Amino acid sequence: MNNFEIIIGIENHVELKTKSKMFAPAPVVYGAKPNTMISEVDMGYPGAMPTVNKKGVELAILAAHAFKMEIDPLLKFDRKNYFYPDLVKGFQITQQFHPIGKNGSIEIELSNHQKKIINIERIHIEEDTAKQNHKGDLTYIDYNRSGVGLIEIVSHPEIRSAEEACAYVEKIREILLFLGVSDVKMNEGSLRCDVNVSIRPFGATTYSNRVEVKNLNSIANVKKAIDFEVARHSKILLSGEIVQQETRRFDENLQETVVMRSKEDSIDYRYFAEPNIAPIQLDLKWVANVIKNSPELAESKRARYINEYHISLVDTNIILSNLELTNFFEKTIKLTKSISKVVNYLVGDIQSELNKANKEIYETNLTPQNLAEMINLIEEGTISSKHAKTILPIIITSANKSPLMIAEELNLKVISDIPTITSYLNKIINDNLELIKQYDERPERVTKTIMGQLMKETGGNVNPDIAMNQIIRIIKNRR
């Protein structure tokens, strides 16, 4: 591939996180029984009129602003006309001529820490089509998805490798997730990726025929599809042939792309202005207020965690990799002063428990209140870190007991009472008088031996700092 430059452009279709559809009152519920979340508008019934979902427009504005785009204050929609089973109306409402956002960019970071700006051509609002399920010789259509609000994000063809493409999609995903624009779950189809790939000799100024790989449903498949296409294109061009312009899909079983249809004949979608939705002039104060109340982006949180909380970049990225984990972290640190312990538990013991149970943190009974209480008990000296290893799995699985209640029930509280510690020590020292005589010559060995016996007697529940001070005091007083 040293002789060729890779040219990649990406189109992302993102389902908006709204309660109802973009132009219809039907609810949006993932996983609902097929064909139960539909309305007359979705099915194209005569006389059924579309209405614009205000929340969907807000989310599109948030996305456009995050991508540094020019936001069009005049909201206009168009019809994209074509006949296909997943489009019962025979047309799709979209924004072909007046996208809500244009001329934006994002910055990606690669594995070698180099950064690159990828320019984004446009964001436009549209509605989703129905979902087709192929079983044997039959195709079943679920219209629940028909009419769900989407934004389509179209990059310029400035991506030059599979790594850059993956970084770009991951950055898009992170931004939209933290804005609350979408769940961006690729496995559920709320973030879908179409990749346009071509190659050309270095130094060439014109583009070669491109191939579009549709509906990639994971970051890993984005990389695999691009790598396969680049190798395929290279082989074709080096053999003196021409790459056919076509639409393909990635076959996970074969681990390669396969042809869906040829693009030799471009489809005329006969776009025209949507006659049932009049142009809407957005109030600039309303737009400004939407932007003003935008949630904090992950990039801002990343800088804050590192600079203000002194959390390592590695741990910061683990926390920010999951929105629920991020929200859990931020709620917990409001309840305890030991931010370092919160981080250590979230990326360490808690992550280990979640991995073993194959669960997300919101699927457990662990609460910020219980984790903070456990950490505060450690800080106060009421329990030890060793005790916390027993308590943590219980508060993850049980919602009925607080860390303090568990500690009391299991007798896990640290013994810090000096008279009680002294009572234990007097007996231990009386049983080890010959050892005590060696204190002047081998003080560390003597104190550690006594401490070990004290821990054994108390089940490891004694406060080590207080105990060590008492050991030294009693030994010196007896000499």
3-state secondary structure 80-127: EECCECCECCCEEEECCCCCCEEEEEEEEECCCCCEEEEEEEEEEEEE
pLDDT score at 398: 85
Low-confidence residues in the chain, pLDDT < 50:
none
- The DSSP bridge pattern shows strands 91-94 and 280-281 to be unpaired
Query: 355 is written with which tokens?
Result: 């991995």
pLDDT score at 263: 64
d(CA 147, CA 89): 10
- Among 428, 433, 363, residue whose Cα is nearest residue 399: 363
Residue with tokens 């060793």: 386
d(CA 362, CA 367): 9
Spell out where 89-245 has E strands: 91-94, 101-109, 115-127, 131-135, 138-142, 149-155, 191-201, 211-216
Considering the entire predicted model, what is its pTM?
0.84
d(CA 126, CA 149): 6
pLDDT score at 447: 84
Q: Per-residue DSSP letters for 32-90?
A: PPTT-S--TTTTT-TT------HHHHHHHHHHHHHTTPEEPSEE--EEEE--BTTBTTS
∠ CA 309-325-110 to the nearest 5 degrees?
A: 75
Q: Are 8 and 14 in contact (CB under 8 A)?
A: no
> Is 419 strand, coil or helix?
helix
Q: Are 469 and 451 in contact (CB under 8 A)?
A: no
pLDDT score at 2: 65
* Residue 82: how many other CB atoms lie within 10 Å: 12
Query: 253 is written with which tokens?
Result: 């079983």
pLDDT score at 162: 96
pLDDT score at 456: 83
Residues listed for the chain: 479
Q: How far is CA 434 from CA 113, 431, 477, in A?
A: 62, 9, 16
pLDDT score at 433: 80
- Among 197, 280, 188, residue whose Cα is nearest residue 244: 197
